[in-house]
Structure 1
């Protein structure tokens, strides 16, 4: 029997701070690689989902902003349409508007409701005389005239001697749509100075020295403000203001020119005027173009009944009877504005001619954008929308929109000339 002790089993050293645990090899798992087409298809789908979510989020945010933004219009329909035209679906919006007007055309026959008629004021001049002769009453195209139809009434601020600078009236648009009325304003340009207020949305760019809101200082002599033309993408014309050519002017384009002395002219660019100063030597301050003349030589131009999108605008062309507006100039230099419902472009031209226009052009269209507002109050006292009256009750734009900093479209302002702000010089 051996005296040797049996060998002692050696214990495995325990891992510690200075002892490395023995490496155990893990048997490799059986790996299955996806086919390349499945791998890439999954990634393409994931990327498409992310891009779609980003796009929908962007359009959702911008649409929500537009639907709550009063500068996009009064109605939700107008706000959606403005948003659509800004985001690449203008043709879809135009198609929808066209189909709507086919399904719901302007009513034929009938007589206007009393609520559709403007309230007329009778104010006799206190003293002095009208620099330009007020035109004769307008003939109505309807078979039977309404009470007061076509008869001029003073509107807006008076001169210091009590002479009106603006007269307004209403007439039916044509002999067919007799349940509607169109508002007409006549402006004595000897008493008034014009100014084009530019917007960050129309024409874009800026900032501009004259833009909304109308300042308290400027409001002390304001008599009227009214809409300008189409969005520049649809206007087929240019825009010049503040010594800057925002969009190149189109030769032959219907144009309203404002000179730095406040005088205005209207006609075809390059034929009736250029960038040369006016007869008094005053340089051009602004030029606003919109489409092509609809009145020339004191008569409607040929082809107005043809649906010409280039000449009369991409939006609805000229054949639908919708809300439209336009401006003309008379042989003695007065300006006339016409705006209202159920107007084809031919009706608009005929209305301007009846008001004495020798040249005329279309301005903006559709309910939310057609607006002519006169303002009252003592000369030298600031006014705002509460002192404003729209040409027609159906003009849904608030008279205060031109005094709001959210108003982004361009518009015209007519103010009393300095001569007519003082009784000693007003005549």
Structure 2
């Protein structure tokens, strides 16, 4: 009996110790998850939990859950666009098979021309920037407005940012992709960090604060994460570098004069004294004006099997003239994203991010409030259009009128 009492006391002590350790772990876990759910910004709770899991080496579980969710609810094949999507696409009007009056379209900043001049009166000067040529569609016959560009954001009546909608392929006809075109000569580009990705302290803020919004035309999302290696490349801004700037990686490169170039690091673009920012992500999807040969190598464009998944994606490219094209879509594979950018005129183009939480292209209308332009999502995903007016979790690009 006397021998059992010390043993029982040790068991009770061991049990209490384990309970205390478990309580500590649960408390720490709860605090960690609570912090993830309450940090600043517009990220959805699902996106926050996925980021928390990846930060705690559970990325494999997130990938498996995404694959499982996709298998249980794959994108619909066939069908037609929703009434809202059709109305949005028809917002681009056609005249005699060509683009119609640019200033009559939504997002033109209120610069609708007056009625035609009276006889003998001088004609109003034509915009210096013509509308981008209509894109050849992937599905025939084309819907009204499909592939026809309209102004999205203007400066002094000039349609610096233009866009159109298309169905991404002949199978996924109930989904849309949105294509934007930006005049290089009339815009300047700024890379912004995110306060969590890449993190750190930079002179450029992780937001577009009040007082810095005059002339703002557009924003788009960054790419796969740099800090955990998903992007297979690095980030450079303000003379500070996160990750490795890898030779051969696809890169957006930002220059002191506000210009931007897109290409393979070490071949098309490299570090010079004029470079102020670099954002690398994977490798080029379009090169020399052609979709790359290994575009169907699904493991190259995200987690294994996700390259061929038809999910939300975004990408950016450059035309032969140096203008920028940007694509966001609801049901895109790596191949269809590349084909959209190539058909929009890109000679070099790269993937950015995927899944509902991250892709975005937002344009801004300064018609009512020039110092605080109204943001509009070109295509709706999880984040609201004012996402970059708040603290941004991840890096992004802002476009301003020159």
TM-score w.r.t. the length of structure 1 is: 0.81
Query: Residues 108 and 177 of structure 1 are in contact (CA less than 8 Å); yes or no, is this contact kept in structure 2?
Result: yes
Q: CA deviation at 1:148?
A: 0.2
Aligned residue in 2 for 1:147: 144
1: distance between equivalents of 2:254 and 2:80?
A: 39
Q: Deviations over 1:202-248 (max 9, x none)?
A: 11111x22223312232011011111111222111101110112222
Q: CA deviation at 1:43?
A: 4.2
Q: CA deviation at 1:400?
A: 1.1
Structure 1: gaps (5+ residues): 1-30, 278-282, 418-427
2: distance between equivalents of 1:312 and 1:37?
A: 59
Q: Deviations over 1:247-266 (max 9, x none)?
A: 22011001000001110000
1: distance between equivalents of 2:81 and 2:368?
A: 35
Q: 1:241 to 1:316 in 2, by over 3 A?
A: farther
Aligned residue in 2 for 1:413: 398
Q: 1:289 to 1:315 in 2, by over 3 A?
A: farther
2:243 to 227, 238, 247: 247
1: distance between equivalents of 2:55 and 2:242?
A: 19
Aligned residue in 1 for 2:2: 32
Query: Residues 94 and 316 of structure 1 are in contact (CA less than 8 Å); yes or no, is this contact kept in structure 2?
Result: no
Aligned residue in 2 for 1:226: 220
2:74 to 105, 115, 120: 105
Which secondary structure state, in structure 2, belongs to the residue aligned with residue 220 of structure 1? coil
Q: 1:315 to 1:32 in 2, by over 3 A?
A: same
Aligned residue in 2 for 1:292: 283
1: distance between equivalents of 2:276 and 2:312?
A: 30
Bigger mean CA deviation after superposition, 318-327 or 49-58: 49-58
2: distance between equivalents of 1:397 and 1:312?
A: 23
2: distance between equivalents of 1:400 and 1:165?
A: 21
Which secondary structure state, in structure 2, belongs to the residue aligned with residue 367 of structure 1? coil
1:179 to 174, 180, 183: 174
Q: Deviations over 1:15-63 (max 9, x none)?
A: xxxxxxxxxxxxxxxx935588766655444332222211111222332
Question: May I ask how many residue pairs the two structures share in their alignment?
Answer: 371
2: distance between equivalents of 1:138 and 1:320?
A: 24
1: distance between equivalents of 2:42 and 2:7?
A: 48
Q: 1:316 to 1:59 in 2, by over 3 A?
A: farther
1:261 to 257, 263, 279: 257
Which secondary structure state, in structure 2, belongs to the residue aligned with residue 353 of structure 1? helix
Aligned residue in 2 for 1:159: 155
2:23 to 28, 53, 64: 53
Does residue 365 of the first structure (1) align with residue 319 of the second (2)?
Answer: no
Q: 1:396 to 1:77 in 2, by over 3 A?
A: closer
2:190 to 192, 195, 220: 195
Does residue 63 of the first structure (1) align with residue 27 of the second (2)?
Answer: no
Q: Deviations over 1:265-314 (max 9, x none)?
A: 0011001011125xxxxx10100011111111111111222221xx2122
Query: Residues 248 and 267 of structure 2 are in contact (CA less than 8 Å); yes or no, is this contact kept in structure 1?
Result: yes
Aligned residue in 2 for 1:355: 344
Name the larger-Rg structure.
1
Aligned residue in 2 for 1:130: 128
1: distance between equivalents of 2:209 and 2:126?
A: 30
Bigger mean CA deviation after superposition, 181-190 or 371-380: 371-380
Structure 2: gaps (5+ residues): 93-101, 104-111, 114-123
2: distance between equivalents of 1:320 and 1:70?
A: 31
Query: Residues 284 and 348 of structure 2 are in contact (CA less than 8 Å); yes or no, is this contact kept in structure 1?
Result: yes
Does residue 389 of the first structure (1) align with residue 376 of the second (2)?
Answer: yes
Q: CA deviation at 1:172?
A: 0.9
1: distance between equivalents of 2:140 and 2:382?
A: 29
Query: Residues 132 and 162 of structure 2 are in contact (CA less than 8 Å); yes or no, is this contact kept in structure 1?
Result: no
Query: Residues 155 and 215 of structure 2 are in contact (CA less than 8 Å); yes or no, is this contact kept in structure 1?
Result: no
